[in-house]
Amino acid sequence: MLILLAEMGSGKRMSGYKFKCKDTGMKCDFEIKGASSKDEVMQEAAAHAKFAHKMDTIPPEMATKVSAAIKD
Ligand SMILES: [Zn+2]
24-68 residue pLDDT tens? 999 999 999 999 999 999 999 999 999 999 999 989 999 999 999
Domain ranges of the chain: 16-69
Q: Which residues surround ligand 1, an ion (CB under 5 A)?
A: 21, 26, 28, 30, 52
Q: From ligand 1's centre to the CA of 7, what distance in Å?
A: 35
Q: From ligand 1's centre to the CA of 12, what distance in Å?
A: 27
Q: How far apart are CA 4 and CA 30, in angstroms?
A: 36
Residue type, 31: E
Apex CA 29: angle with CA 28 and CA 33, to 5°?
A: 130
Model confidence, pTM: 0.76
Q: How many residues does the chain have?
A: 72
